[in-house]
Structure 1
Amino acid sequence: MNTFKSAALLVAATALVAGSSVAATAAPAPDGTRVTSLQRTAEQVLGGDAKPVRVTADAVAYDGLTVTEAPRGSASTKALSCGYGHLCMVVNGTKFDFYKCQTWELTNWIGDGPFTNNQTPGTVARFYNKDGSVRWTSTAYESGTATWDPIWSLRPC
């Protein structure tokens, strides 16, 4: 009897876990593709030209950028890990990890959040106003808290 109950519990737990991961994976988009809520969030803040190359429930990967949910406690820069050669920041609860030298168009970057510029020492990341003028810069290695509004584009290198 205990073996039967244990097996039933295992089957129920497996179904619950599988069901929750399927629900979290994606919702159907109007064109029939599946779009995660994280991908929707990323698309709201990236200019319309960025197209994902890989989408999972936990991350959206672009050519030169990975977008994930910000880790809990990421309000402090100590909690914001960032790989060597990368520029990372948290904007509205979403972590952006840039690793390709190009200009990224942005929208809806508002509020304050931590950043870590962990690129090659001396590499300058530039953050731009709407008119294309430089709003502020960060020289690697540097970390801190930034005010994102209004940042309209950035160039990690």
Structure 2
Amino acid sequence: MNILRPVTLLVAATALAVGGSTVAATAADPAGTRVTALQQAADQVLAGHPKALEVTADAVRYEGLTVTEAPAGRAARQDLACDYGHLCMVVAGTKFDFYTCQTWNVKNWTGDGPFTNNQTPGTVARFFNRDGSVRWTSTAYQAGTATWDPIWSVRPC
């Protein structure tokens, strides 16, 4: 388990913001590169969540959120697997699996991507504009494609 401190997250996010990269891709360390790439993807689209992370070869875990590589292929994008009680989406090629009721501030959400709201029937997920007003909602169960820009925060429940 690799616990990262808020300063590490800030450095990674800053490097991405200025077009840099903290990934040193080498043939000798493909798993390490994959882990770093996942963490950078998570850092790039999450803002204001300086909690410690658990980073594994397959996932970056926050309290209440798991970040993994997006499923490959057209069929996987159309039918995004999402455990019961979770809100899942693909943003910028990365899958976000929310399972805790809290507001998550996000940044750099662009483009379109699939989502699955597989929470308890009737649970409403809210997606907010920069000023805090509701941009759109999803009532469980619902799945489809969403336009992520400009989403500034998400509340799964």
Task: Specify the TM-score bucket, using the shorter chain as the normaliser.
Answer: 0.7 to 0.9
Matching residue of 2:7: none
Query: Does the 8 A contact of 1:112 with 1:146 survive in 2?
Result: yes
Cα distance, 1:56 vs structure 2: 1.1
Indicate yes or no: 2:91 matched with 1:84.
Answer: no
* Cα distance between partner residues in 2 of 1:89 and 1:52: 22
* Cα distance between partner residues in 1 of 2:28 and 2:137: 40
Q: Secondary structure at the match of 1:125?
A: strand
* Cα distance between partner residues in 1 of 2:116 and 2:78: 7
What residue identity is the alignment partner of 2:77?
S
* Cα distance between partner residues in 2 of 1:141 and 1:52: 31
Tell me the TM-score normalized by structure 2: 0.77
Q: Deviations over 1:112-136 (max 9, x none)?
A: 0000000000000000000000000
Query: Does the 8 A contact of 2:71 with 2:77 survive in 1?
Result: no
Matching residue of 1:143: 143
Cα distance, 1:22 vs structure 2: 3.1
* Cα distance between partner residues in 1 of 2:27 and 2:121: 43
Matching residue of 2:71: 71
Matching residue of 2:152: 152
Query: Does the 8 A contact of 1:76 with 1:114 survive in 2?
Result: yes
In structure 2, list runs of 5 or more residues that go unmatched: 1-25
Identity of aligned residues (%): 71
Greater Rg over alpha carbons, structure: 1
What residue identity is the alignment partner of 1:64?
G
Task: Name the Cα RMSD after superposition.
Answer: 1.9
Tell me the TM-score normalized by structure 1: 0.77
What residue identity is the alignment partner of 1:130?
R
* Cα distance between partner residues in 1 of 2:70 and 2:30: 20
User: Alignment length, in residue pairs?
Assistant: 131
Cα distance, 1:103 vs structure 2: 0.1
In structure 1, list runs of 5 or more residues that go unmatched: 1-18, 28-34
Query: Does the 8 A contact of 2:103 with 2:153 survive in 1?
Result: yes
Cα distance, 1:68 vs structure 2: 0.3
Query: Does the 8 A contact of 1:77 with 1:116 survive in 2?
Result: no
Indicate yes or no: 2:46 matched with 1:46.
Answer: yes
Matching residue of 1:23: 30
Q: Secondary structure at the match of 1:44?
A: helix
* Cα distance between partner residues in 2 of 1:127 and 1:109: 12
